[in-house]
Amino acid sequence: MAIELKMPALSPTMEQGTLAKWLKAEGDRIEPGDIIAEIETDKATMEFEAIDEGVLEKILVPAGTEDVAVGAVIALIAGEGEAPEPAPAPAPKAEKPAPAAVVAAADPAIPAGTNLVSTTVREALRDAMAEEMRRDPRVFVMGEEVAEYQGAYKVTQGLLDEFGPKRVIDTPITEYGFAGIGTGAAMGGLRPIVEFMTFNFAMQAIDHIINSAAKTNYMSGGQMRCPIVFRGPNGAASRVGAQHSQNYGPWYASVPGLIVIAPYDAADAKGLMKAAIRCEDPVVFLENELVYGRSFDVPDVEDYVLPIGKARIMREGKDVTIVSYSIGVGMALEAANTLAGEGIDAEVIDLRTLRPLDKQTVLASLAKTNRLIVAEEGWPTCSIASEIVSICMEEGFDHLDAPVMRVCNEDVPLPYAANLEKLALIDAARIAEAARKVCYK
Amino acid sequence: MAKKPAKAAPASDDGDFILHSLQEAFEAKKRYAASEAEMLEFYRQMLLIRRFEEKAGQLYGLGLIGGFCHLYIGQEAVAIGLQSALDPDRDSVITGYRDHGHMLAYGIDSKVIMAELTGRESGISRGKGGSMHMFSTEHKFYGGHGIVGAQVALGGGLALAHQYNNDGGLCLAYFGDGAANQGQVYETFNMAALWKLPIVFVIENNGYAMGTAVKRGSAETEFYRRGTAFRIPGMKVNGMDVLEVRAAAEVAFAHARSGKGPVLMECNTYRYRGHSMSDPAKYRTREEVQEQREHHDPIEGLKKTLIEAGKTEDELKAIDKAIRADVAAAADFAETSPEPAPSELYTDVLVGEY
């Protein structure tokens, strides 16, 4: 039976081409690997190589023929072999499953009488890591200055003493490399916590966070997991200039396959860090340098683990909702206090997790207050605030009594000069002003 | 190779000894003394890769395989020579996007590999990875990575896990002469040497980074020297001879497994086909390709050795015939298997539910 030689597609988009030249004549013996013909497209000339053996029986499309459709039979080879099947019809368009009424798990109930311990965010993060390292021998910490220096911001203080250099690993200043090594270690079955001295430096490593960590489970059809935590301070610190002062929340939150957490207070930092370390998915855990030293009450319970993907109502109110996360939550609470003195009762929501975003809590609050603003210490363009605005438009439009407003940093690189830096960053006064505006007061 | 002292000094007195000691051990016994059964198995495995890739090229031409498809034809001896020396229960492997051959070297069913190429539900990544993104954690094969050089750092992490778990395994991390110019490769070299990670870095130098000849893209074209600054011993290996690759693998693996840290092995090889399927073939001459095929082909080379050892053309032809049937069956399977269900679009994004 003759083997049909078909016009090959030499690129994914090629539909037709010119059969420029035959390099074999009818009657010629063909061996696998022989170049039979040259095909031209508008981009390049390509060689058409035989994979079957036999004799070139008949040339059906002469040299110089233009616009030969891909798949057209161009010649016949006499010899043994099998004719290919036609390509199957394209798949029907995927229908997205109806969104299930996902009710995120609530925070664990704190038993009455539980001792509340005043703890800094820095200590809460360290306690969470230490507890998880005691619990699971696969958990280890790596990063710049995490061991002997005790952490550039002292978040890993004391871990080297307790766990030793095998599990608390100082790396050279080589973010791309150690992010890749951490990611590979997670693929190999460990539970790495990779500290970036700041997330600004993680820009060097973002390829591994996104291309290697976030996409592998999907690309492998669920075969290869990557349980890793990338953590470190994020956002503006104090007078450190543009390259050290960026909020990457919106960047990472746009990536399917990642969990993105950005807590505000110490209890959430602890409970969510423990959840992040136990998580089977890669987590970006965004801290804030200016909040590290602040003290908050942390419940003194055996194993304080919080649900990922669940926002927290920090202050209940009925007139306007202020949605925020990370350092913005403190400013939002301050603004709410100011507004209370003016007769405006604001509800403050801490998103805590930026991906997956707890839309239900936001929309439920909007349905109650009918007015919503977003306070975000970060740029306004393509921000978490923009995302919340979209959600409110698409799914909460009927509840809106006023446009949703973004209260974000100015749309400029962060300046060094004290007065300019202050002008560029959000503060409680601006949040309060926006709240008054949507309340038409 | 590192400069040798003028007169032979005991190894312990030569500060650079470590940099060339593996090459010396390898050169002392440059071809692996394979049994006839082993040679036949190497022949079968290399031929399987060749025929599989030829068929993949054909299916691509018919539009059954989409996107990017990088064939391993010509480089077969590298994967077979190295992977045949692994301890499959302990060792891990990672590579870049030219990964079909490394999968086949494990004996993974050619059907599920081909079905991944055609994007079908029965593919090893359930049709969601494609040619460049295939994995088999069961075999400790960790992909299948499309960002040039990324697999080197990830391989460093796999090696860290071997060391951390003290499981006696090593990681074999493959990359190309093109990836060898990426910065993260050297970041990984530094940490692997610093921490004495059990890893063998293998540069498959096929002469071209896509269309850029090695000499046009690399200031140091002797890639086995590239670890010298990190005190990683180098080895230079003829990647067109499976027995030579295997002999080198034995030396390198013993070094890495014994806790002495990484090895950098350069395997000089050649790909007959384009970088990917859409390659204009304008950057090298047809004569150059032909010269490699006629005089350096790894399969023909081993065939000659087998015939010298008493095997007949007919016996070898029977192997080819069986492989052709296997590959044809894989292609049929890959063409007729259903595409993933539309609902698969949303699965495997995250492991947990939140």
pLDDT in tens, A288-334: 999 999 999 999 999 999 999 999 999 999 999 999 999 999 999 99
Q: A51 versus A84: which is more confidently predicted?
A: A51
Residue B309 lies inside a defined structural domain of this protein: yes
Cβ–Cβ under 8 Å, residues B120 and B341: no
Is the pLDDT reported for residue A342 higher than 70?
yes
Catalytic residue among A4, A38, A40, A244: A244
Residue B9 lies inside a defined structural domain of this protein: no
Cβ–Cβ under 8 Å, residues A348 and A322: yes
- pLDDT at residue A43, rounded to an integer: 67
Indicate if ipTM > 0.90.
yes
Q: Which chain A residue has the Cα nearest residue B93?
A: A188
- pLDDT at residue B175, rounded to an integer: 98
Share of chain A above pLDDT 90, in %: 75
Residue B181 lies inside a defined structural domain of this protein: yes
The set of residues, in sequence order, having a beta carbon less than 8 Å from that of B328 and lying 6+ positions away, is A82, B55
Give the confidence band of A98 by pLDDT, cuts at 50, 70, 90.
low
pLDDT tens per residue across span B97-112: 999 999 999 999 999 9
> Residue B54 and residue A51: Cβ atoms within 8 Å?
yes
Q: How many residues does chain A have?
A: 441
- pLDDT at residue A94, rounded to an integer: 60
Smallest Cβ distance to A174: which of B135, B152, B190? B190
Half-sphere exposure of B265 (CA within 13 A, CB side): 34
- pLDDT at residue A82, rounded to an integer: 41
- pLDDT at residue A258, rounded to an integer: 98
Give the confidence band of A39 by pLDDT, cuts at 50, 70, 90.
confident
- pLDDT at residue A207, rounded to an integer: 98
- pLDDT at residue B68, rounded to an integer: 92
Residues of A in contact with B128 (CB under 8 A): 218-221
> Residue A176 and residue B281: Cβ atoms within 8 Å?
no
Q: What 3-state class would DSSP assign to B202?
A: strand
- pLDDT at residue A11, rounded to an integer: 67
Catalytic residue among A175, A289, A347, A376: A175
pLDDT tens per residue across span B162-186: 999 999 999 999 999 999 999 999 9
Is the pLDDT reported for residue A100 higher than 50?
no
The set of residues, in sequence order, having a beta carbon less than 8 Å from that of B160 and lying 6+ positions away, is A181, A184, A185, A188, A190, B195, B197
Between the alpha carbon of residue B235 and those of residues B223, B246, B249, the distances in Å are 9, 13, 10
Question: d(Cα A73, Cα B347) in Å, to the nearest integer?
Answer: 39
- pLDDT at residue B354, rounded to an integer: 93
pLDDT tens per residue across span B276-305: 887 888 899 999 999 999 999 999 999 999
Residue carrying structure tokens 């140091």: B220
The dihedrals phi and psi of A25, each to the nearest 5 degrees, come to -105, 165
Residue B348 lies inside a defined structural domain of this protein: no
Question: d(Cα A70, Cα A84) in Å, to the nearest integer?
Answer: 14
Domain CATH code at residue B171? 3.40.50.970
User: A46 CB near a chain B CB, below 8 Å?
Assistant: yes
Average pLDDT, chain A: 92
| Total of domains in chain B | 1
Is the pLDDT reported for residue A44 higher than 60?
yes
- pLDDT at residue A99, rounded to an integer: 46
Residue B139 lies inside a defined structural domain of this protein: yes
Residue B271 lies inside a defined structural domain of this protein: yes
User: A211 CB near a chain B CB, below 8 Å?
Assistant: yes
Question: d(Cα A320, Cα A348) in Å, to the nearest integer?
Answer: 9
Is the pLDDT reported for residue A1 higher than 70?
no
Smallest Cβ distance to A183: which of B92, B129, B154? B154
pLDDT tens per residue across span A274-283: 999 999 999 9
Residue B350 is encoded by which pair of tokens?
A: 């995250």
B298-308 helix and B242-257 helix, angle to the nearest 10 degrees: 100
> Residue A356 and residue B354: Cβ atoms within 8 Å?
yes
> Residue A189 and residue B161: Cβ atoms within 8 Å?
yes
Residue A106: count other Cβ atoms within 10 Å of its Cβ: 9
Q: Which residues of chain B have pLDDT under 50?
A: 1-6
Give the confidence band of A419 by pLDDT, cuts at 50, 70, 90.
very high
Residue B284 lies inside a defined structural domain of this protein: yes
Residue B77 lies inside a defined structural domain of this protein: yes
Cβ–Cβ under 8 Å, residues A346 and A339: yes
Cβ–Cβ under 8 Å, residues B270 and B296: yes
Tell me the residue range of the domain where B292 lies.
41-328
DSSP string, B156-173: HHHHHHHHHHT-S--EEE
Whole-structure pTM value: 0.88
pLDDT tens per residue across span A110-164: 888 899 999 999 999 999 999 999 999 999 999 999 999 999 999 999 999 999 9
Query: For the CA atoms of chain B, what is the radius of gyration?
Result: 20
Is the pLDDT reported for residue A101 higher than 50?
no
pLDDT tens per residue across span A429-439: 999 999 999 99
> Residue A187 and residue B158: Cβ atoms within 8 Å?
yes
